[in-house]
């Protein structure tokens, strides 16, 4: 068993670390989140631009991206509001989850039935997933920064 002696230097260091952490995301994490969102969205859109498919198919995949991004932001907001005690109706909460799942299902159905190489299908799936995850992180960061800034005023 380790020797558990009192060390005042460690106590001071731990106290400083706890005081320094205020829940605000670091600039590096904020930049990484925005970068991931932009990379995912731009890659997905470049893939669509260069794809050998009809314009209506490109439109379908583009709308699914927009639909998915909006829906995950709604889910993140609803979950966070509930966590913080802000009133969220069950219908809104349910719809937010439903449309998120619907966007994923629509993408899977579209890719499953698409006349694309498996590598192209994987590319669209991964860039879509990256975009959705990054949108959640960006929304969370935005909300955290605003909350902390409002408390510091």
Could you count the other beta carbons within 10 Å of the beta carbon of residue 67?
Answer: 16
CA distance 43 to 128: 9
Q: State the virtual CA torsion across 34, 38, 41, 47 in degrees, nearest 10.
A: -150
The whole-number average pLDDT for the span 10-30 is 69
pTM summary value: 0.81
Tell me the pLDDT band of 6, cut-offs 50, 70 and 90.
low
The whole-number average pLDDT for the span 60-69 is 97
């Amino acid at each position: 068993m380790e020797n558990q002696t009192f060390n005042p230097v460690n106590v001071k260091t731990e106290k400083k670390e706890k005081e320094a952490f205020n829940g605000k995301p670091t600039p590096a994490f904020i930049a990484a989140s925005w970068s991931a969102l932009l990379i995912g969205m731009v890659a997905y859109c470049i893939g669509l631009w260069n794809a050998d498919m009809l314009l209506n198919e490109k439109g379908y995949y583009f709308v699914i991206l927009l639909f998915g991004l909006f829906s995950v932001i709604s889910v993140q907001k609803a979950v966070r509001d509930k966590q913080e005690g802000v009133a969220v109706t069950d219908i809104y909460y349910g719809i937010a989850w439903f449309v998120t799942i619907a966007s994923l299902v629509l993408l899977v159905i579209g890719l499953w039935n698409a006349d694309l190489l498996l590598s192209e299908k994987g590319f669209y799936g991964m860039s879509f997933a990256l975009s959705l995850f990054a949108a959640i992180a960006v929304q969370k960061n935005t909300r955290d920064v605003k909350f902390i800034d409002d408390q510091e005023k």
